[in-house]
Amino acid sequence: MKVWIEKKQRSGGKKYIVFVQDDNGKKQVKGSFDMNQKRQANIFADSLRNMESHIAMPAKITFDDAIAAFKEDVLKDELKTYESRLLICGIINHHIHPHINKKLLSDYTLYDFNDSYIPALISSNGMRVKNLPGGKSEVVRSNKKLGKKVIKESVAQFKCFVKYCLSRKWILDPTILNFKFNKNFFQDENTKAKWMPKYQDIVKIVNSEDNLFNRVLFHTAAETGMRLNELLGLTYSDLDLKSNPALIYTNHSLDKWNNFRENFLKTASSKRKVEISKSLALLLQNLLKQQLPKKHGRYKMVFGITKAAAAKRIKRAAKRNNITWENGMSPFRKFSFSFLRDQQALTDKQIMQRFGWSNMNTPNKWYYRDLDTNKDQRLAAIDKMLLN
């Protein structure tokens, strides 16, 4: 990079003009000084010489171009699953790009982020898929406000975008990376726990099911608490029904589109073995003997159905038993954890290993609901609290 000063005639008289030229020969005027400001012109020129070239001559990158490049980089990142890459691009398209109030990266500051982006993000609505004629669909704005999780994830991806820009030596205010939500920022957010069935409802649905396939599906989901994509990814080779106790190994899963993912799970801690009861082992043995399994390559699938099909099965089973049911198969995992937590038969480490967690923060906050198995003892203890 080259920096120099020239005397130039301007409409207001002669001026000292400070020029900068990059390695590609591109020249740019960086400052203009009156004839009595020669010293200031030299100081300014020296300051430019001490800068890196991308700072002294920042490229005029627009947000449109930068975001397009960032999305392209995300889609090429094979360290992330394909659905994760699509999710990130969706967040950029719907929760970041529409709320940018400047054209050039170099004009955007922390003030713009705090005063424009954050309020616009919080007041915006979420997205939903609208089905169109001919089997097509489009993503449109819903009438529901964004939740805490989407807002936090949007800000996190904005920071990833800032880091990407800085890595390419594009000028963007790095202090945006220091932004943090106030600890009371989301205190009005509705954090009500999701619906979960009662213990009696689970027992009734499982035991009243005449269809062996459905009974094994529901029993396995309730007893093991496996994630649905893990449950439907089970193969014959994942079952060890002759050991004592019988074991189920989680090795595979289904992706967003119900494609089989060999030796791929959500996290490293998700690869585990789960101890099961004698009754479930017997049900699984009967199912394997009676059914003609669907195959995926060299694997025989235990269930071989889609996530939507599993959700329909539990919905129909609940309706037959006059039980109100919500959220497809997901309540089984929350129920399984809450039941074992109430029984206190497993240590925290054993629970983490059984459910595929690396810590207990998320399950204790979002999964646990007291099943009230000690109601009599609890009320008796309260009654006696201040009695002599």
325-338: pLDDT as tens digits: 999 999 999 899 98
DSSP 139: E
End-to-end Cα separation, the chain, in angstroms: 87
Give the number of C-alpha atoms closer than 13 A to the C-alpha of residue 350, restricted to the C-beta side. 8
User: pTM for the full model?
Assistant: 0.68
**Highest-pLDDT range among 24-33, 142-151, 174-183:** 174-183
Q: Which residue type occupies 33? A: F
pLDDT category at 191 given cuts 50, 70, 90 is low
What residues form DSSP beta bridges with 240?
A: 247
Q: Indicate the CATH number of 199-367 among 3.40.605.10, 1.10.443.10, 1.10.510.10, 2.60.40.4070.
A: 1.10.443.10
pLDDT category at 343 given cuts 50, 70, 90 is confident
Q: Which long-range contacts (CB under 8 A, 24 or more apart) does 322-326 make?
A: 323/197, 323/201, 323/204, 323/205, 325/197, 326/194, 326/195
194 CB-near residues (< 8 Å, 6+ apart): 326, 327, 330, 331, 334, 366
pLDDT at 23: 67
pLDDT at 14: 86
Q: Which residue type occupies 197? A: P
| pLDDT of 110 strictly over 90 | yes
| pLDDT of 57 strictly over 60 | no
pLDDT at 204: 94
Q: What average pLDDT does the segment 165-184 reach?
A: 89
* Element holding 153 (H helix, E strand): helix 148-167
What mean pLDDT, rounded, does the chain reach? 87
Question: Between vectors from CA 123 to CA 122 and to CA 129, what angle results, nearest 5°?
Answer: 90
How many helices (H) and strands (E) would you count in the chain? 16, 12
Peptide bond between residue 245 and the one before it cis (omega within 30 degrees of 0): yes
**CA 327, CA 310: separation in Å to the nearest integer?**
11
Tokens at residue 52, please?
Answer: 């890196």
Q: What is the pLDDT of residues 299-323, one digit of tens each?
A: 999 999 999 999 999 999 999 999 9
Sign of the alpha-carbon dihedral angle for 26, 30, 36, 38: negative
Rounded percentage of the chain residues whose pLDDT exceeds 70: 93
Sign of the alpha-carbon dihedral angle for 274, 278, 282, 285: positive
pLDDT category at 369 given cuts 50, 70, 90 is low
pLDDT at 257: 86
pLDDT category at 272 given cuts 50, 70, 90 is very high
| pLDDT of 22 strictly over 80 | no
Is 97:63 a contact under the CB 8 Å cutoff?
A: yes
**CA 2, CA 82: separation in Å to the nearest integer?**
45
User: Nearest Cα to 66, choosing from 166, 154, 156, 175?
Assistant: 166
Length of the chain: 388
| pLDDT of 54 strictly over 70 | no
Domain edges within the chain: 2-56, 63-178, 199-367
**CA 213, CA 366: separation in Å to the nearest integer?**
30
Rounded percentage of the chain residues whose pLDDT exceeds 90: 52
Is 108:63 a contact under the CB 8 Å cutoff?
A: yes
Q: What average pLDDT does the segment 90-99 reach?
A: 94
Of 112 and 26, the one with more pLDDT: 112
φ, ψ of residue 132 to 5 degrees: the values are: -115, 160
